Amino acid sequence: MRLLPLLALALAAFAPSKAAEFDWSSMFKDGLIDAKGAAVDAGSLKGKVVAVYFSAEWCPPCKMFTPKLVEFAEVNKAKLAVVLVSSDRTPEAQSKYMTGYKMPWAATPNGSEAGKNLAKEHGIRGIPTLLVFGKDGALVSKNGRDLAELSRILGN
């Protein structure tokens, strides 16, 4: 009878991890887009820590933080994916913001229900805010703007 628990442990080592199984499209039900409005596959987030960035072009603190996040995300692109949830008033303003700051990441469509639901679910009351989710889709930090903490989360 002792063999059964050992066999279960051995099989678990070869089973796909929950992180690899998490379906990010379940979080972003309205889909994801790039700065030009083209669809982005949510599968591109698989296996990465995902930082959801609540921000807008008209927000002065966002304008200060965004270049730092763009640089940090570029250095950590193998481990980190960022998704913008914009508070810009129009899709055109969102696109201009993404293009102007050379954001290399995807975004929820402007005004999407998914973005609104994430903000409500996590009590987002101001911008910029950066929520950090582990590879398994679980919330890891609401303090992602602390890039030192984000670096620790990534294992740097």
Contact 137, 48 (CB under 8 A): no
- List residues bridging with 54 in a β-sheet: 85, 129
How many domains does the structure of the chain reveal?
1
| pLDDT 10s digits, 52-103 | 999 999 999 999 999 999 999 999 999 999 999 999 999 999 999 999 999 9
Cα angle vertex 50, ends 58, 108, to 5°?
45
Residue 136, domain CATH: 3.40.30.10
Whether residue 89 is contained in a domain is answered as yes
CA–CA gap between residue 29 and residue 43 (Å, rounded): 13
Choose between 9 and 109: higher pLDDT: 109
Strands 129-133 and 139-141, by their bridges, are antiparallel
Domain for residue 139, yes or no? Answer: yes
b/e sequence 58-95, b meaning 16+ C-beta within 10 Å: ebeebbebbeebbebbeebeeebbbbbbbbbeeeebbb
| Per-residue pLDDT, 106 | 97
State pTM to two decimals.
0.85
- What DSSP string runs through 76-103? TTTTEEEEEEE--SSHHHHHHHHHHTT-
Establish if 6 belongs to a structural domain.
no
Place of tokens 């602390």: 146
- What pLDDT, in 10s, does the model give residues 101-131? 999 999 999 999 999 999 999 999 999 999 9
Range(s) of the domain holding residue 133: 19-153
How many whole angstroms separate alpha carbon 88 and alpha carbon 90?
Answer: 6
Residue 47 lies in a domain: yes
In a domain, 58, yes or no: yes
Report if residue 32 sits inside a domain. yes
Does residue 95 belong to any structural domain of this protein?
Answer: yes
Q: Sort 51 into a burial class: Cβ within 10 Å, 0-12 / 13-18 / 19+.
A: buried
User: Does residue 38 fall inside a structural domain?
Assistant: yes
